[in-house]
Chains A and B, each alone.
Chain A
């Protein structure tokens, strides 16, 4: 049994090159406040898995103060969730920083076994979902789903 925390990237600037969009100043400020709250309530990670897109990388970097282990980049977080991605989730206290709509699909898949139920698990930018269980379809329980304003 492991604990996995799914995090949608913070608010980013607009831009023509989607992969190169940085976090906005406000997005950075707000997510930094969220990380401080996570730290206050004792959340720590042993590893951060993140998408290669700049806004996800910059969001992941803000988690550095509450991560005791390595960061790993994977392009699998820019695609529909796959078995290959699930194999990377078998790490206790793992943080996963990605994008919509794939992150909600992953959440629905892990909790219900069905990606089609993703619409029931809306993740706003900077939202955090804590899961526990076995990282397989329908194998995890949703322990908390924090909207960004709750964490600030």
Chain B
């Protein structure tokens, strides 16, 4: 059985950290790990809430990432307002209450789902920036699933980092344009 409680504690600590001025990066990563746990469980309901949190904090994350090259205090203030509203929301309180009430994930169920994800990962083709972004997300999901199952995910982490660097360049291009 795979319990969500330890990851939920890390998520709550990251949430508190982000609200006290630390980077939103940790809370976004913690939210994605929880999302993968839900997806491995076959639960769809709270996935939207965690996806919403990542969406609401994405602008702030981009601005944090390129803080050395970009300075736009108005954009930063707006991104912080949006991110903090999400981090302070009752919706997020609800996610935590709901996750605490869920039963542990069965390892056999997780393995079956992971096999399906691995199969579709192998069939990816890369033609556009969007394909790279989609592949990065797919790799990250499989990597987090490995982590939940206690399996070695170093190789996937390396692939994810390379794809992440490509996606960060695309994000910088978007920010410069806007």
A binding-site residues for B, Cβ under 8 Å:
17, 19-20, 22, 48, 50-54, 57, 60-61, 64, 70-76, 84
Whether the pair B95, A52 counts as a contact (CB closer than 8 A) is yes
Binary interface encoding of chain B residues 101-122 relative to chain A, with 1 for a CB under 8 A from any of its CBs, else 0: 1110000000000000000000
Q: A20-B101, A54-B102, A70-B52 are in contact. List 6 more A-B contacts (CB 8 A).
A: A52-B95, A57-B98, A60-B45, A73-B49, A73-B94, A75-B94
Question: Shortest Cβ distance from A86 into chain B, in angstroms?
Answer: 14
Chain B residues numbered 31-77 whose CB sits less than 8 Å from any CB in chain A? 43-49, 52
Whether the pair B44, A73 counts as a contact (CB closer than 8 A) is no
Whether the pair B97, A52 counts as a contact (CB closer than 8 A) is yes
Q: How far apart are the CA atoms of A51 and B93 in the complex, in Å?
A: 11
Number of interface residues of B (CB under 8 A): 19
Whether the pair B90, A52 counts as a contact (CB closer than 8 A) is no
B103: chain A residues at CB < 8 Å are: 20, 22
- Judged by DSSP, the binding face of A is mixed
Question: Shortest Cβ distance from B20 into chain A, in angstroms?
Answer: 23
B binding-site residues for A, Cβ under 8 Å:
43-49, 52, 90-91, 93-95, 97-98, 100-103
B49: chain A residues at CB < 8 Å are: 71-73
Whether the pair A72, B100 counts as a contact (CB closer than 8 A) is no
Q: List the 5 shortest-distance A-B pairs measured between CB atoms, nearest first.
A: A52-B98, A73-B94, A52-B97, A20-B101, A70-B48
Q: How far apart are the CA atoms of A38 and B90 in the complex, in Å?
A: 30
Q: How far apart are the CA atoms of A17 and B102 in the complex, in Å?
A: 11
**Known contacts A52-B94, A52-B95; A73/B101 CB under 8 A:** no
Whether the pair A75, B45 counts as a contact (CB closer than 8 A) is no
**Known contacts A17-B101, A19-B100, A54-B102; A74/B94 CB under 8 A:** yes
Q: How far apart are the CA atoms of A85 and B44 in the complex, in Å?
A: 23
Whether the pair A61, B45 counts as a contact (CB closer than 8 A) is yes
CB closest chain-A residue, reference B102: A54
A72: chain B residues at CB < 8 Å are: 48-49, 52, 91
A74: chain B residues at CB < 8 Å are: 90-91, 94
CB closest chain-B residue, reference A69: B48
Question: Shortest Cβ distance from A61 into chain B, in angstroms?
Answer: 5
A73: chain B residues at CB < 8 Å are: 45-46, 49, 91, 94-95, 98
